[in-house]
Structure formats: structure tokens, C-alpha cells
Structure 1
């Protein structure tokens, strides 16, 4: 139904406007009692789908990637569609408008999206207020720096977001790989990246134990670009092992435009969707093999079918995330992936 009726209608309109319209529609439908219907349509409940990764228990390995629910406005409703976890963000200390519109583009012929949103969000404190109402959804907090913060002061921005979100998320993701914030990817260089991750890990390990005795350090993951060379990926493995963070998310969007057919393929920004399928899987496999599986990997990038998801898992991913595939294929993709995992178990 989604691909035959709903998607063709939604794709007639501006992508960013459709995004906010869809948010409003999902929220409205859940308010009038559709949450149970969504769950019955898309949830797959089976103990064989459960995963324990970096100390957390996931009811299934299919999550929603950051960028869809930036401000933690819809995580509860989105979880009704069958996701095992929801990643919010990217959040920055101060709210910011992001880059000028138009900044989101569909590449229909390539089953892809180009975005240059630029970390548009209402600021970390607004998201915290919404997260206080969480009713059992496993949440990842994706954090970044404000556009106007120079790289030499970027660590402070990540510290602010980390401190504010700590009581309200289950794991953290350090985003230094978006191509849409000027000079952000320079933070992927070995020295600044090690400093950033070590600073956050030191904060993490120094957290006081809560009176209940349950407040523990939380998993910190690094989200990397698919455009890194093998030498840079080897540096990532070294940094992860040195700082002892929990793992890696592979991968973010790409700046490559190789093999694209769509008219608007030259738009600036990060490319996601089917053109990223192969490269993201290559990065996952490389990290897994070269690290001797020494840390978990969340695989994301170009997952449009259950088979795409299985490839990521077989390449070494412990969990996977959807974004563009969710937009193109609809929530039935979540169910089909979980069913395929059960078939292969």
C-alpha cells in the first residue's frame, strides 16, 4: 500500500515539507488510537531477534538512524512501527536553523536522497524535555557541534550535549562525519578525534554512581564517513581501541556522486540510499576483519531490502539502521528484515 499509493502521492511535494507533514500525520494517527494498529502491522516479537550489544538489550536489531527524528519529537510513535531502537539528533548545544532551503533532494532514479540540512535542530535542552517523557524506547543520542563553533573549541560543544543528554539516552553517537557543517570532517583526523573521544570517555567514566546504584558509563559510538581511505579506517580502529569507546556506526552519507542517473545528482550535500549500499558494507567488513571483531558495528547505508540488511549483518554488523530505505520502502521494510533474520536463524 505504501509504495503503490502513499509514496507516489508524498513524492509529488517538496521533501522537507513532506517530512514535517508525515510527522504530523503519524502523531495524529497515534493519538486517535492507531498505535495498536501500527504495532499489529509492523512489529515482530520473537526472543530470537533480541540482541545484547555494548551492554544494552535490543528487542530487535533494526533501528532508525539519526536525522529523521532530530529533535526527539516522534520517537515514541516511530517505535510503534517495529523499530528496535531510535537514534535522535544530531543535536547541538544551541538551536540552529541549519543551511538555507532548498536543502533536501530526492534522486528517484537512484533511490537516493541528497541532504545539506546542516544540523538544523532546536538545541539539546529542548530535546531533553521531550526525552523525559520516554516510555521505554531505547534511545541513542547523536551529538555534534554548532556551525559557528570553531573546530578548536568543538570539544566543548560535545561536552555540553553529552552532559545534558546523559540521564535520558541509552547510548551516544559522536558525529564528526556529516559533510554539511563546514570543516566538521577535519575532526576525523587522528589527533583531534582521539582528543575528542578521550575527553568524552573520561567524562563517561567519571560519572558518579546514582543513589540507586544503576548509573553506569554509557556506550559511546563514533559515526564515520564512507569516504575514508583504508589507512584512515585503520586509524579509526586504533583510536577506538585506544579510547575504549563502545563501537562504530558505519556509515554516514557520502560526498561521492559516482554512477548516479538523476538530474539533480550534482546538488551539494551528503548522498544516502542505494548508491551507498556497497560502500557501507565494504567499510563494515573492513573494520570487522581488520579489528578482529574487537568492537561492535552498527551498519547503516543503502538498506532497501531484507537482503541488504542480511549482507550488513554477515559483513560484521551487530545492529543495523534505516533512513533512506525507510523513506522509499516504508515501514514494511522493518518487518521484512526482522522476518528474514528469523528465517536465517
Structure 2
């Protein structure tokens, strides 16, 4: 019996958002000693050395309060945020729902966070510590110029970020996903890349709710602006069959029901890029087998979030062990050897 199996009933006694806050508090109290990683799991991407390909997705540690604790729990990298220029409260509560029967989560948080100055101070305080920490930036809901908000996020957070993610795929800020349209995305990435004062890698996080023409357009613009990677994907507004009483809640759906859609979209992006643009997979990943499937389908890295609600913070270590076994089973000496093997 794992420690988390004892703690989970206590967390599930609280509503989902309060449990989220309590879990972060517990993580901050944990030892942040660097984890050990198997060299065979290392991945090189965008000039960075990822000790293993299993990352924490944005949304869990919105305000960068515990990145070192998650790194110590075995994650190969951590992405904090989404962080906006100004603090914002987000959408009215309740706005986070556990769908236990479906091993899923629905959220309509609305980029609730304490703003970039507060997160900047926390990340400056960890300067010099090991581990890759990316910063996911977004626009304030009431921003008059959303592109300007993204530019500010890049300029403000780059000094403390190993990479930056431009998040235009949340369904919970009205109109945000319109920035995925080809013309709007071209204008956004032109401004963002021009604002980058150094070589901090820039990633773009896209939605799973795209058709083939959307995928092709995003790839064209991303490659034209020499983006460093795409994260595929965010939560979905689609509703596959669900059993939970919360199935009808509005917001983005994540967790197990997203797995097939996210994998399908990853394959679409791999075909469209031909392997020329690195891909990072997210959505419904809960095991080493899930990670292996995304890697062979073209992902260099994977990210998890909702599975932690059900499996606990040491999931990354278990996934790494499972992944190593699957690599050996299929004759891959390293993760790098397995990337895109499905298309070989």
C-alpha cells in the first residue's frame, strides 16, 4: 500500500480546489533533494538536457510555489503557471471538479494566479538550484491587447525560465483559442519571438479540438517563426461518454477520457511536421505505457497533471521505471532512440 493511498481519502474529503491547495502545501513541506535519473531516459531538446521525459504540466503549480519538491519527486522537468501579467482571481467557484468514476477532471479556473511579479520573486529565490523549470504565460482576461500581455510575459519571466510556454489553448478565457487562427497566431508569434532578448526556448501549447486544416496552419506558422516545440495538447471541450455526476460541468476536460483524442492529435502534428519540430505530449497520460505510446508517436517529452490527483506525486518515478522496461522490450537503448519510432 502506497503512502498516497492513505492520504487520498483525506484529500478527497475536501472539494477539489481546496484539496489542490492542501496538496501543494504538503508538497512544499517535502524534501526537495534532487532525484536520481537513469541516463537512458535523458532527452536533449531546444538546447536543454532533460534527465527524464516525464514533466509536470502547467496548471498544478500555478504560482511557482513548489517546483523543487516536484523535481525531487522524480519529474524530469516542471512547468509552472499559467502566469499572467497582473494577478487575477479567475472564474467564480466552484470551478474544479473530480470525476472519480472516469479518472478525470473538469476545470474552468480562468487563469487564477498571483501575477508575474510574485512568481518572478519566487523563481529568483531558487536561482542556482538544479532542475528544469519552464514558465507558462498567458494574457489577463480583461487585457485590451492580449499580444502585449504575452510579450510582457516573455520579457518578464525569461530571466528565471529554462523555457517559456505560450498558452493560447485554455478554453476558460473567452476568445483565447481564437489566437490559434493562422493570422492571429502569426501576429502573436512574430511579437513574442521579437521580444525574446536571449535564446530562452519558446514552446506553444495548443488545444486538442482541432481539425486537419488547423493543424497544418499552426505548423506552418510555428515553423516559420522557428518555434522550439509544440505542446499537444491542453484540455478538451468535447465530452466523450462520462459516468460522473459532474459530467455536465462546463470547462476543460482532462484525464483518462482525453487520452485517445490527445494521442490522435499528436499523430496529426507528427505527420504535419515530419519530425522537423519537437513535440511534447500531454493529455490522459497516467503510466509508463502511456508515455511510451506518445514517445513512439513522435513526442520527445510528456507531461502529466490529472493522473496525479488519482495516483499521487510519486507517479513520475513509477512511470520512469515502467518506461525503461518498455524501451528495453522493444530494443530501444534510450528514449531518444524511440522518438517517432511509429513513423519510421
**Does TM-score exceed 0.5, indicating one fold?**
yes
Q: Would the aligned equivalents of 2:170 and 2:235 in 1 still touch at CA under 8 Å?
A: yes
Q: Secondary structure at the match of 2:92?
A: coil
Segments of structure 2 that go 5 or more residues without pairing to the other structure are 328-332, 334-344
Aligned to 2:339: none
Determine the C-alpha separation between the residues in 1 that align with 2:86 and 2:5.
41
Cα distance in 2 between the residues matched to 1:81 and 1:333: 8
TM-superposed CA distance for 1:264, in Å, is 1.0
RMSD value, Cα: 1.3
2:342 counterpart residue number:
none
- Residue 244 of structure 1: SS of its match in structure 2? coil
Does residue 304 of the first structure (1) align with residue 286 of the second (2)? yes
Please list every run of 5 or more consecutive structure 1 residues that lacks an aligned counterpart in the other structure: 208-215
> Which residue of structure 1 aligns with residue 143 of structure 2?
149
Deviation, 1:136, is: 2.0
Normalised TM-score (structure 1): 0.91
Deviations 1:166-194, CA, capped at 9 Å, x for gaps: 11001111111100011111111111111
Aligned to 1:16: 17
Deviation string 1:207-239 (CA, Å, 9 cap, x unpaired) is: 2xxxxxxxx411111100000111101111111
Structure-1 residue corresponding to 2:341:
none
Structure 1 equivalent of residue 28 of structure 2 = 27
Contact 1:224–1:252, Cα closer than 8 Å, also in 2: yes
Mapped pair 1:96 → 2:88: yes
For the residues of structure 1 that align with 2:200 and 2:26, how far apart are their CA atoms?
34
Paired residue for 1:244, among 226, 233, 257? 226
Deviation at 1:336, TM superposition (A): 2.0
CA distance in 1, matches of 2:299, 2:19: 31
Secondary structure of the structure 1 residue equivalent to 2:125: coil
Q: How does 1:43-58 map to 2 (within 5 A)?
A: 43-58=35-50
Structure 1 residue 94, shift from structure 2 partner:
0.3
Per the alignment, in what secondary structure is the counterpart of residue 117 of structure 2? helix
